[in-house]
Structure 1
Amino acid sequence: MPLQATLTTSSSIWSIFWIFLKLGLTSFGGPIAHLGYYRNEFVLRRRWLNEARYADLVALCQFLPGPASSQVGFSLGVLRGGGLAGGLAAWAGFTLPSALLMFAFALGAANLAGPWAAGLVHGLKLVAVAVVAQAVWGMARTLTPDRQRIAIALACMALVILVDGVATQLAAIAGGAMAGYWLCRGPLVQLDGALAMPVGRRAGIAALVLFAILLLGLPVLLGFTTHGPLLLFDVFYRSGALVFGGGHVVLPLLQAGTVATGWVPNETFLAGYGLAQALPGPLFAFAAFLGAQAGMTASALAGAALALLALFMPGLLLVYGTLPFWDRFRRHAAARRAMMGANAAVVGILGAALLDPVWTSAVFDVRDAGVALAGLLLLTLWKAPPWIVVILSAAAGVLLAAV
């Protein structure tokens, strides 16, 4: 049964925006939690689609690079609004609250001074340690369940540790995909059903072509100019195009693009990343903070908006372009095996980032390690909401600075 057959009448663009705005204000807990909020709102409560079709949509967005929960929300908007306008309304509503809060923090970060402020920033950096450690552990259990994928993850982790840089991370992902194609030869889960969406093949192809032009053409164009906004857009677009396996994987990519280039101090980067864990909505809203801090545009607001758009754009282009072809493509065993290897590779890349710069920049003594470990235990064993862990760790950082 095609997906459209499960829907009621379409909604107006403004109603879609307001529905997702309310979710953007209240959806705490990260991408997995966001998928649960969507299910409760659109499958159980509003009945926009049934359980099987929602599962198909989630599978598509988890297969592609990009922020899966934002891609699912965008696709739900496309589905309900009958096209691209509905998708953009859903994305804007879900993203604006956290993006505006991150932009406000970027403006206020320059005014933070004194021992208490240094302690606050240090506490937020320790949150990043706990959150990334939780992400590595959770992703490793899901994405590296066998010896082949464990080996891929460890090899990619060693490669990224030994040879720093964005090019190494790209090579690790590509190598992981090739290794997955050859090594992941176990039986694959059988796929049932069909996924259809109100997107024509021409529109899908146009989106995929635009994705490729920007990914390949921007570096070529930058060979002839050093225009600041264009360089900013390229760094964030490239990062968004290579986020396989979850939103936290964007951390090493953005760190290489903004900290290693000297745009944003590492302490500020990790503090903003830690704060992003306390906010509702997508983790990718962190881009608004970095874009405002980078100083590559005429104003902080322009930098925040440009970075935010660039980081989300590749994932949205990919999902929009893939929707007309997904049902056929997802049945190719070779593509699924390559993705298994790529996902294992990103576990290794994120593990390397946990060691450096996250751990090395935040943990300096036993007390720091204790705060980070306490945050990790709160997240994993006690299932505490991330915003509570952020508040407690920030308070611990201020306390440690005082004593």
Structure 2
Amino acid sequence: MPPAAIPDAAPRGGTPREVLLAFLKLGLTCFGGPVAHLGYFRQEFVVRRRWIDDAAYADLVGLCQFLPGPASSQVGFALGLGRAGAWGGLAAWAGFTLPSALLLVAFAALADRLAGPLGLGLLHGLKLVAVAIVAQAVWGMARSLCPDGTRAAIAAAASLIVLSAPSAAAQIGAILAGALAGWRLCRRPATPPPPDGTTPLVSPRVGIAALAAYLALLVGLPLLTHFLAAPLLALAESCYRAGALVFGGGHVVLPLLREAFVTPGWIDDGRFLAGYGAAQAVPGPLFTFAAYLGASVETGAPRLVGATLALVSIFLPGLLILLAALPFWHQLRRGAQAQAAMRGINATVVGLLAAALYDPIWTGTIHTPTDLALALAGFALLTMTRTPPWIVVALSATAGLALSF
């Protein structure tokens, strides 16, 4: 019996339109990051609409947190899939994703005009809030994912690897090394499987086909990029690779996307971090930051084409691997070895994010005591007073504008 399924007693036969409208409302109002998004989803689809019960929802969340990719978007896709089939899954993704993606594409268009003192001040304020938000992510993830010395050591080793050899290969190597270290050092009795009584969302045949597509794109896109000098293909490959390697939350995509976009010179660090800061001010998933990047880089195609391609490419691997895992999750999660490897990977992503917090975020943003004070103030608002991120973004942008006078 695979979990991550819809209980037999749940209402069935929804329509894609119903799913689209439900998720569009959330796409316009869900601020606060993936943990907050999952809370909104539970209130809307477990408590209010009763599309799924609490036990099945909790198990679906557990699956999506185990897999690479954006957990809240994967949960939303699965909820739409269970309610109205494949079109329902796509409707859920579109409704939840497009509002923030369109806002960030608009910001990318306006960023070209932010060359004067006021514009530079606004961009600096957005970079400062990125310091505070990533520091909060590192702090919270370290407390939950590195609760012992072994996992703290894995995280520290991952940071050293990527800081000493900043490259995509080093990041992939760190993740693989973390999985191996977790498999050897982080074993404990496996979590018992949930009770029976659910219906699978996806057949094994569909799961195998999705896994084949996931692997074919992961291997094939880099090969095609190597032999074909096509900017749009390179853009798709960079975003797909980042989406395929993200474990542990949306913020972890930051170092992967920076390596893909800043290192080759497609975009500079300042504009990259300004877009990341702007992504905190909009509702919906953080992965829509890719739409900003796709609209900002020069590919020879219209801005909206680059944004669309980047957006689809970064979400696609997470959705494919979810479809691949749904029929087999029950068996996979039983294994103590798989769970141990996942603990090592989770500790590794804390180290990757901590390294990104230092370079480029800290080194490229904190230049004066005033910068440090504003970043610390943002961090305090986020962690001590639980101020919503979009408010902290607005305050930091205002401070950046004030400093420009």
Q: CA deviation at 1:189?
A: 3.3
Please say if 1:10 is aligned against 2:6.
no
Equivalent position to 1:19, from 18, 22, 26:
22
The code of the aligned residue for 1:230 comes to: L
Q: CA deviation at 1:196?
A: 4.0
Equivalent position to 2:247, from 244, 249, 256:
244
Determine helix, strand or coil for the equivalent of 1:43: helix
Q: Within 1, Cα distance between the matches of 2:201 and 2:161? A: 42
The code of the aligned residue for 1:51 comes to: D
Match of 1:209 in 2: 212
Match of 1:95 in 2: 97
Q: TM-score, normalised by structure 2?
A: 0.97
Determine helix, strand or coil for the equivalent of 1:330: helix
Show the 5 A alignment for 1:27-176.
27-81=30-84, 83-176=85-178
Q: Within 2, Cα distance between the matches of 1:189 and 1:396? A: 47
Q: Is the 8 A contact 1:196 1:327 kept in 2?
A: no
Match of 1:345 in 2: 348
Q: Within 1, Cα distance between the matches of 2:14 and 2:167? A: 45
Q: Within 2, Cα distance between the matches of 1:49 and 1:244? A: 25
Q: Within 1, Cα distance between the matches of 2:91 and 2:299? A: 28
Q: Is the 8 A contact 1:119 1:400 kept in 2?
A: yes
CA RMSD in angstroms comes to: 1.1
Determine helix, strand or coil for the equivalent of 1:336: helix
Q: Is the 8 A contact 2:122 2:398 kept in 1?
A: yes
Match of 1:396 in 2: 399
Q: Is the 8 A contact 2:68 2:247 kept in 1?
A: yes
Match of 1:280 in 2: 283
Please say if 1:357 is aligned against 2:369.
no
Post-superposition Cα deviations, 1:1-20, rounded to whole Å, max 9, x if no partner, equal 86331311221111101110
Q: CA deviation at 1:202?
A: 0.8
Q: Is the 8 A contact 1:6 1:48 kept in 2?
A: no
Show the 5 A alignment for 1:195-234.
196-234=199-237
Q: CA deviation at 1:113?
A: 2.4
Q: CA deviation at 1:327?
A: 1.2
Q: CA deviation at 1:297?
A: 4.2
Q: CA deviation at 1:199?
A: 1.2
Match of 1:319 in 2: 322
Post-superposition Cα deviations, 1:83-109, rounded to whole Å, max 9, x if no partner, equal 221111100000010000001111111
Q: Is the 8 A contact 1:252 1:349 kept in 2?
A: yes
The code of the aligned residue for 2:279 comes to: A
Q: Within 2, Cα distance between the matches of 1:134 and 1:47? A: 33
Identity %: 57
Q: Is the 8 A contact 1:102 1:285 kept in 2?
A: yes
Q: Tell me, which stretches of 5 or more residues in structure 1 are unaligned?
A: none
Q: Within 2, Cα distance between the matches of 1:4 and 1:51? A: 10
Post-superposition Cα deviations, 1:227-248, rounded to whole Å, max 9, x if no partner, equal 1111110000000000000000
User: Which piece of structure 1 moves more, 228-237 or 292-301?
Assistant: 292-301
Q: Within 2, Cα distance between the matches of 1:6 and 1:35? A: 22
Q: Is the 8 A contact 1:297 1:303 kept in 2?
A: no
Residue 188 and residue 307 in structure 1: after superposition, are their counterparts in 2 closer, same or farther (change >3 A)? same
Please say if 1:259 is aligned against 2:262.
yes
Q: Within 1, Cα distance between the matches of 2:262 and 2:108? A: 15
Q: Within 2, Cα distance between the matches of 1:70 and 1:246? A: 11
Determine helix, strand or coil for the equivalent of 1:155: helix
Residue 91 and residue 297 in structure 1: after superposition, are their counterparts in 2 closer, same or farther (change >3 A)? farther
Q: Is the 8 A contact 1:243 1:250 kept in 2?
A: yes
Q: Is the 8 A contact 1:130 1:373 kept in 2?
A: yes
Q: Within 1, Cα distance between the matches of 2:328 and 2:189? A: 24
Q: CA deviation at 1:267?
A: 0.6
Determine helix, strand or coil for the equivalent of 2:8: helix
Q: TM-score, normalised by structure 1?
A: 0.98
